[in-house]
Amino acid sequence: MADTATARFADRRSARSRSAREAETAEVERTAALLRLLSDPTRLKILHALRQGESFVSCLVEMSGANQPTVSQHLTKLRLAGVIRARREGTHTFYTLEDPRAAAVLDLLLDTDQRARGRRLPSRR
């Protein structure tokens, strides 16, 4: 009887361990996908602009220096990935940074960039 109980406990522990590994693998995959999205300079410029607040395509075109079809394509990729959110108002579509992980990565990257240039940013706490 003790052997049966031990075997059941080991099976449950193994299942929990496997489940934890699968969850960890899924999180690593989601993080890798986010980093791939952030690896494009135009998308970084767009997200940096959106980090400042809501914006629409023509403004993002001006801020990024890319042409309108390119910005629209990048916005679609970011929206489908859940990084940004789109909101229609009349003939305009407004975009907002939605993913807090992307915002945190941008803050970290931009903060690091500012430090590398010798500038001190205000504390975020």
Each residue's pLDDT tens digit, 5-28? 676 666 666 666 778 888 889 999
Check pLDDT > 80 for residue 121: no
Q: Write down the H helix ranges in the chain.
A: 2-38, 41-51, 57-64, 68-80, 100-116
pTM passes above 0.75: no
CA atoms of 17 and 53, how far apart (whole Å): 42
Which residues in 47-66 are b (16+ Cβ under 10 Å) and which e?
bebbeeeebbbeebbebbeb
Phi, psi of 68 (to 5 degrees): -60, -45
Write down the domain spans for the chain.
1-39, 40-125
Check pLDDT > 50 for residue 125: no
pLDDT at 11: 65
Q: At what angle do helices 68-80 and 57-64 cross, to 10 degrees?
A: 110
* Architecture of the structural domain at 40-125: Orthogonal Bundle (1.10)
Instruction: Taking residues 86-110, report their average pLDDT.
Output: 93
Bridge partners, residue 84, by sequence: 97
- CA 25 to chain CA centroid, nearest Å: 17
> Mind listing the pLDDT tens digit for each residue in 66-95?
999 999 999 999 999 999 999 999 999 999
Among all chains, which residue has been given the structure tokens 């001190």? 120
Instruction: Taking residues 32-38, report their average pLDDT.
Output: 92
Which has the higher per-residue pLDDT, 52 or 118? 52
Measured CA to CA in angstroms, residue 54 lies from 84, 88, 120 at distances of 10, 12, 26
